[in-house]
Structures are given as structure tokens and as C-alpha cells.
Amino acid sequence: METHVNRLIELGSVDADTAIRRAPMRFRCGQTLRFRLSDVYAPGLSDLFNQITPELELQGRISFLSDGGDEQNSYAVVEVPGILMPLIVPASCVETIAESEPSRSAA
């Protein structure tokens, strides 16, 4: 598997010694990080999409609730940052992580 350091060397932007010295040291193993798919060096994006499993969890905002026959609000239309079209998900599979409306306090 290709590493960031190997990629810099391969692109010819730095030599091996410089690439190793420039490697970021502010991170540690086991730390949780956030990044964009466009920043992934390896595997390539097409290979990565082929390896995504149904267990991948996404986070988004409900834009619409749809009925399913006689059941009201049985599907959620969800907008997910980074995905260009809304996703339709059974409402029973959606888990709330944050309220979108400000809470009302008693006066």
C-alpha cells in the first residue's frame, strides 16, 4: 500500500530524506481524524468505492419525510455533505444524533 511519503517521492516533489523529515508528527496511532475522500492517496477512489460495505455510516440532515402507503413518515429524504443527490432511507433505520431546532426553555 502506498504511503504519503512514497507518493511525494514518486511525484518527484521531494527526495526520500526530505519526505521523511516533513512527515507530520502531530498525530498518533489510534487517534480519530476527519478527512475528505478526495485526499485519499491509496487505494484509488475507484478501488475505494468498490470496497465500501453496507455497514458504512453516513451523517446528514433530513430534508423531507415521506409516507409509505398507510404509514406516515416512513421514509426520510436525507442530504449528506459530499453526496450530490439526497438519499432515501427508511425512517426506522435513522438514528438521531443532534436536534436541528433550538430547544425552547421555560420562561
pTM of the entire predicted model:
0.57
Question: Binning pLDDT at 50, 70 and 90, where does residue 23 land?
Answer: low
Overall number of domains in the chain: 2
- The Cα–Cα gap between 41 and 104 comes to 46
Domain that holds residue 81: 61-93
**pLDDT over 50 at 1, yes or no:** no
Residue 98 covered by a domain: no
Residue 107 covered by a domain: no
SS3 category, 25: coil
Which residue type, as a one-letter code, is found at position 76? A
Q: What values do phi and psi take at 68, rounded to 5? A: -125, 85
